[in-house]
Chain A
Amino acid sequence: MKTTRITGERIKEYLEKGKRFDGRNLEEFREISVEIGVSKKAEGSARVKIGKTEVIVGVKLDVKEPYPDSPNKGNLMVTSELLPLSSGRFEYGPPRFPAIELGRLIDRAIRESKFLQLEKLCIKEGEKVWGVFIDIYSINDDGNLIDAAGLGAVIALKTAKLPEYDEKNEKIVYGKLTNKKVPVSKEIPIIVTTHKIGKSMIVDPTLEEEDVSEARITIGGTIEGSLFSIQKGNSKELTIEEIKKMLDISEKTRKKVFSSIEKYLK
């Protein structure tokens, strides 16, 4: 059930006093916990929990023909499924906008940051390249699936290894991982979404807060300061001042989030 208007009003009142229902500050994340290796069948996988929100992300590799416009680069495909298991609000059936957007947001942050080094995933130019599939599944939705999925994707990629490829038979020997890591860059893209509710700006909304969010900005960037992907969501307009403030909040948050997951990226 969507958050009622009366609860929404109360959330705004609280935020104006700098408070949230769960006692956090406006710019405070919930606790992040990470588990690596959710499925032995994936070449890389991770479970990320932010408070009660939980996603799993898996990386699968396959040998494919390259796309005509990038004959010497690997293929990247990011999909997401909002499982009906994870929330009474998600229905079974073809993906709807939120699932499509989630996949695309993560895709762009990974692609534009060049975190996944696609040029190193070419086996034979114009003929054979590695195809990298990143699949995101929601397990429990209590808000902020986007940021959780972003962390999951980065950690799953970072820990992924190439499977053995049998050149002669042109087949992948699944289950036999090589020591070769999937090539990724040193700079880690982190996705942080900042929301505007009433006059307040917050990060890491719970589901209730997300329901009353009037505008959001999802930013993918590194702690070194580069930004790679931005998307504004929801229909409320933002002033230039507000955008600037959101950029600042997102930068600060990115650093905090990074330090809490840094140990999983070794």
Chain B
Amino acid sequence: MATKTFKRPDGRKVDETRPMQAKVGVVPNADGSALFSFGDTIAIAAVYGPKKMHPQHQQDPEKGTLRCRYNMISFSVDDRIRPGPSRRSTEISKITEWSLEPSLLIKNYPNMVIDVHVNILQANASTRCAGINAAAMALAHAGIPMKNIVSSVSIGKLDKNLVVDLNKDEEDWEEGEGSTDIPITMTPNGEITHIQLDGRITKEQLKEGIELARKSTKEIYEVQKKALKDSIKT
């Protein structure tokens, strides 16, 4: 297949992510925190809680609430971002919540809230995936009861070729069919907790892309797990 031999701008193999870095405990004040990076994309996440939900009318007596905030640091990109929430960051915050919640045993915390703050320190595409990976680790580091740690990766289609972990150059790919961006989040068992797509693709190729994500998220999961295990070794 053409895909297998496709040459990526930075020389990576099609199924190769950028070098990953994972670390927990980066924010001492927080109940749990983590850093996760794909190459030049660096995300940090901090967890505060579970704590009582304020305002009170937002309390849910049935289950706890997961509240995520995704924020890009103003100098994480070329054109400075005005500090404060945007339409984009509001959506990604919600997507992050949806990605993480299925893995948490949040039923145990009626009327409580778990706050997850994700900040992008440096951006070179796939920031939401790096953010979700950091957030999942931070939740585990905070000792929140959970079934699994989710892992997230962006699948890209550059012209006709499927690749994993898009960087900015690839995101802006213009040749042939252009670039399609498919961020996907999965549990280690392969359940999908999040998928988005922007671009153009056939059903068959999407299926193939999901299989590629399955393989890649397994690798990411190992990186996340190792960082968490290392943190408790003395």
Q: Tell me the A residues contacting B by CB distance below 8 Å.
A: 38-42, 45, 52, 56, 58-60, 62, 79, 81, 83-88, 92, 94, 133, 135, 137, 139-142, 174-175
Which A residues are in CB contact (< 8 Å) with B45? 85
- Of residues 118 through 137 on chain B, the ones whose CB sits less than 8 Å from some CB of chain A are 118-119, 121-123
Contact of B80 among A62, A87, A142 (CB under 8 A): A62
Which residues from B are CB-within-8-Å of A38?
121-122
Contact of B122 among A40, A52, A94 (CB under 8 A): A40
Interface: B197 (CB within 8 A): no
Do A85 and B75 touch (CB < 8 A)? no
With contacts A40-B40, A84-B117, A85-B44 taken as known, whether A45 is within 8 angstroms of B75 at the C-beta atoms is yes
Cα of A19 to Cα of B79 in the assembled complex, Å: 48
How far, in Å, is A206 (CB) from chain B's closest CB?
A: 12
Query: Complex formed: what's the CA distance from A137 to B71 in Å?
Result: 12
CB-nearest residue of chain A relative to B123?
A41
Q: Is the CB of B119 within 8 A of A83?
A: yes
* Complexed CA–CA distance, A79 and B73 (Å): 12
Is B73's CB under 8 angstroms from A174's CB?
Answer: no
- B: residues with CB less than 8 A from A are 26-30, 33, 40, 42, 44-46, 48, 51, 69, 71, 73-80, 83-85, 115, 117-119, 121-123
Contact present for B78 and A174 (CB under 8 Å)? yes
Asked if B74 contacts A58 (CB within 8 A), the reply is yes
Q: List 7 additional A-B contacts (Cβ < 8 Å) besides A79-B74, A133-B80.
A: A39-B122, A40-B122, A42-B75, A59-B75, A137-B119, A139-B44, A140-B27
Q: How far is the CB of B143 from chain A (nearest CB, A)?
A: 16
Q: Which of B27, B76, B118, B122 contacts A86 (CB 8 A)?
A: B27
| The one of B26, B115, B122, B123 that contacts A84, using a Cβ cutoff of 8 Å | B115
The distance in angstroms between the C-alpha atoms of A174 and B79, with both chains bound, is 8
Tell which of B69, B75, B78 touches A175, judged by Cβ atoms closer than 8 Å.
B78
Chain A residues whose C-beta falls within 8 Å of the C-beta of B119 in the assembled complex: 83, 85, 137
